[in-house]
Amino acid sequence: HRKESDDPGNDDLVTISSLPKERGYLTDYFYQFQGFWYDQHFLRGAIWAQAHFKAQPTDIVLATYPKTGLTWLKALAFATMNRARLENCPLLTKNPHDCVPYIEFQAYEKDPISALESLPQPRLLSTHIPYNSLPGSVLASNCKIVCITRDPKDMFVSMLSFLSKINVGNKEPISKDEAFGLFCNGVSLVGPLWDHVLGYWRASKESPERVLFLKYEDLKKGTLGNVEKLAEFLGCPFSSREKENGVMEEIVRFCSIDSLKKLEVNKRGFYHMGQESGVTVETGAFFRKGEVGDSKNHLSEEMVRRIDQITKDKFEPYGLKY
Ligand code: A3P
C-alpha cells in the first residue's frame, strides 16, 4: 500500500525491504522489482513514476538501458527540436540531462507535478525504466518512445567507469570481477541488460510508428542519416532548404562528444539525480571516450567470449544482431 502523495516516503521503504535483493555495485543492494534489479534510488523513482507520472500523447520519451549513449541522444533530440535558435541553445549552459529530465528522478523534486507540467510542449523526457514497467500512462497515451542500445561489452565497461565517479557517500565501487559475474547473471542497474533491451526492441518491431530503436554503433557510423531519421520520427523533419543550408551537419557538430565536452557546464558542473536526492555526479563523467569497441581494452578474452555468447543466445531468437 502506498500513500497517495508526491513524496516517495517511508511506505516505499517498507515495500522495498521485502523485495528479493542482491549485492549492489555501489549501494549495498539491488532489489528485484517486476523482474529487474534496481538500487534504492532508482526504485523509489520508478515506484513514484508508476503512481504519479501522467504522460501526454505528444510526449517523447527517450528510454534506454544506462550507458548506451543517452546523453548523446538527448543532445541530438533536444537540438533537433530547438534548432531554430541553436546559437542560444540551452545545451550551451545546461547539461543534456538537465535539458531532458528523467521521469523517475522527478520523485526527488520539491514539486514534481508542477515541474513536469511547466515543461515546454511537446515534452522531451527520458527514463531507464524497463518497457514492461513504464508508467501505464506512457503506453496508454500512445506517446512516442526512442530507444538507443549498444554493444553490451561497451556498456559494461562504460558503466564501471561511470560508477567510480558517482558520489553516494564515499563508498568504494565493486571490483571489476565481481561486477562482471553479477552483470552476466543479469544483476545490474535495471538489468538483466538483455531483457531490458529486448523489451524495447520487441515494442519497436510491433509498433514502429510509436517506438524508434537506434544503435550507438549505427549512430557513430552514420550520424547524419540517423539524425534525419530521428527528426522524421519526432515529427519535425528537416526541410530541403535546411538540408541545403547544412542544418543537420550543424546539429551533428554541436552534439559531438568533443563539442559538448568543451562546454564549461560539462567540464565543471554537477548533475543532481533529483534535486533533493543528494545523489550527484560530475557532468564530465557523462563524456568519456565515446568509442565503439573500447571494451577490448578493459576485458579479458574470456570475458569478451562470455558476454558475446549471452548476447547471441538472448538476442538472436528475436532477430536483434550484435
Ligand atoms: P564511453 O564510456 O564508452 O566513453 P550514457 O549517455 O547513456 O550514459 O552513455 C555514456 C556513453 O556515451 C559514454 O561512453 C560516453 O563517452 C558516450 N557519449 C557521451 N556523449 C557522447 C556524444 N556526444 N557522442 C558520442 N558518445 C557520447
Rounded Cα distance, 222 and 299, in Å: 27
For residue 253, how far is its CA from the centre of ligand 1 (angstroms)? Answer: 15
Does any ligand 1 atom lie closer than 6 A to the CB of residue 147? Answer: no
Question: 140-164: per-residue pLDDT in tens?
Answer: 999 999 999 999 999 999 999 998 8
- End-to-end, the C-alpha distance of the chain in Å comes to 42
For residue 283, how far is its CA from the centre of ligand 1 (angstroms)? Answer: 12
128 noted as active-site residue? yes
For residue 69, how far is its CA from the centre of ligand 1 (angstroms)? Answer: 5
Rounded Cα distance, 14 and 23, in Å: 19
Count of other CB atoms within 10 angstroms of residue 269: 16
C-alpha cell at 127: 527514463
Count of other CB atoms within 10 angstroms of residue 20: 10
Establish whether this prediction's ipTM goes over 0.95: yes
Rounded Cα distance, 38 and 188, in Å: 8
For residue 43, how far is its CA from the centre of ligand 1 (angstroms)? Answer: 24
For residue 114, how far is its CA from the centre of ligand 1 (angstroms)? Answer: 31
CB–CB of 210/144 below 8 Å? yes
Beta bridge partners of 30: 22
Phi/psi-derived region of residue 207, left when phi > 0, alpha when psi is between -120 and 50, beta in every other case: beta
CB–CB of 53/78 below 8 Å? no
pLDDT at 303: 98
Mutation probe of ligand 1 site: the residue of 65, 71, 97, 265 with most atoms within 8 A of C-beta: 71
Count of other CB atoms within 10 angstroms of residue 145: 24
pLDDT at 11: 54
Question: 205-259: per-residue pLDDT in tens?
Answer: 999 999 999 999 999 999 999 999 999 999 999 999 999 999 999 999 999 999 9
Give pLDDT tens digits along the chain (322 positions): 333 344 445 556 657 889 999 999 887 899 999 999 999 999 999 999 999 999 999 999 999 999 999 999 999 999 999 999 999 999 999 999 999 999 999 999 999 999 999 999 999 999 999 999 999 999 999 999 999 999 999 999 999 999 888 766 656 778 899 999 999 999 999 999 999 999 999 999 999 999 999 999 999 999 999 999 999 999 999 999 999 999 999 999 999 999 999 999 999 999 998 888 888 899 999 999 999 999 999 999 999 999 999 999 999 999 999 9
Rounded Cα distance, 303 and 301, in Å: 5
Mutation probe of ligand 1 site: the residue of 70, 73, 158 with most atoms within 8 A of C-beta: 158
pLDDT at 4: 39
**Candidates 52, 97, 128, 196; catalytic one:** 128
For ligand 1, atom 27, name the residue with the nearest CA: 290
170-178 LR contacts (CB < 8 Å, sep 24+): 171/26, 171/27, 173/25, 173/26, 174/23, 174/24, 174/25, 174/26, 176/298, 178/23
Rounded Cα distance, 195 and 188, in Å: 12
pLDDT at 44: 93
pLDDT at 320: 98
Does any ligand 1 atom lie closer than 6 A to the CB of residue 286? Answer: yes
C-alpha cell at 55: 504522460
C-alpha cell at 180: 562482471
Residue 155's H or E segment, with its range, is: helix 152-163
Atom of ligand 1 nearest to the CA of 257: 23
pLDDT at 47: 95
- For residue 233, which of 266, 253, 210 has the smallest C-alpha distance? 210
